[in-house]
Amino acid sequence: MKPTFNTSNKKQIYLTEQLFRSTYKYPFNYDEIVALLSCREPSKAIQQFLVSKNFLEFSFEKKAFMLQEGPWYSSHGKNPIITNLILLARYFTFSMLGIGLVVIAIGCINKQYIAGSESVGVYFILAVVAIIFSLRLFIQAGKDLYQTGNKKIADEFLTENFPKKGCSSVERS
C-alpha cells in the first residue's frame, strides 16, 4: 500500500478493501481502513475494533468511530459493568427459555409415543417447532455471552485512538 491514501484511485480503494476483507474476514470499507491505519498503533486498533465491532459504528462525517446504541444498552449503558450485567441477564434468560422449550419438546415426543401413533402427529410437529425455537434462543444466548467484556474494549479503543475527535465513550451517535 502506498503511504498516502488517494481516494480518487478506484483501483487502490478496491485492492485495499479486498486485502483487509481477506485478511481480517470483516467487510471493511475504505474510510474505516484509513481511520484504523491512522491510529497510533494500527494493529492493536484493528484487533480492538474486530473484538468490539458490535458496539462501534463509523461516522463518515467525522471520519471516526463512535459508540452505537444497541439492545445491550440501558439508559446508563455507558458503563461497561452495567452492559455486562445486562448481557449476562439476557444470556441466562434466553438459556432458561431454551431449556424450557426443550423440556416441552421432550414432553410432546413422549405424548406422541404414548399415543402409539406411527404417523406424524400434532405432538411431533410441536416438538420440532419447540426445538427450532430453543436452538434460536441458545444461539442468541451464546452471542450475548460472547459479547460480555467487549464493551470495555470498545471504550479503550475509542479513548486510545479517537479522544480529540469527539468520539469518546461518553458521547453517543
For residue 100, what is its C-alpha cell? 424450557
Contacts of 49-55 with CB under 8 Å at 24 or more apart are 49/157, 50/24, 50/26, 51/150, 51/153, 52/150, 52/151, 52/153, 52/154, 52/157, 53/26, 54/147, 54/150, 55/147, 55/150, 55/151, 55/154
- Cα(100)–Cα(49) distance, integer angstroms: 36
Question: Is the predicted pLDDT of residue 148 greater than 80, yes or no?
Answer: no
In percent, the amount of the chain with pLDDT more than 90 equals 2
Choose between 13 and 71: higher pLDDT.
Answer: 13
The tens digit of pLDDT for each residue in 10-27 reads: 888 888 889 899 999 999
Q: How confident is the model at residue 170 (pLDDT cuts 50, 70, 90)?
A: very low
Q: Provide the mean pLDDT of the chain.
A: 78
pLDDT tens for 78-117 read: 677 777 788 788 889 989 988 988 888 888 777 777 766 6
Please compute Rg for the chain using Cα positions.
23
Query: What's the rounded Cα separation, in Å, for the pair 43 and 113?
Result: 58
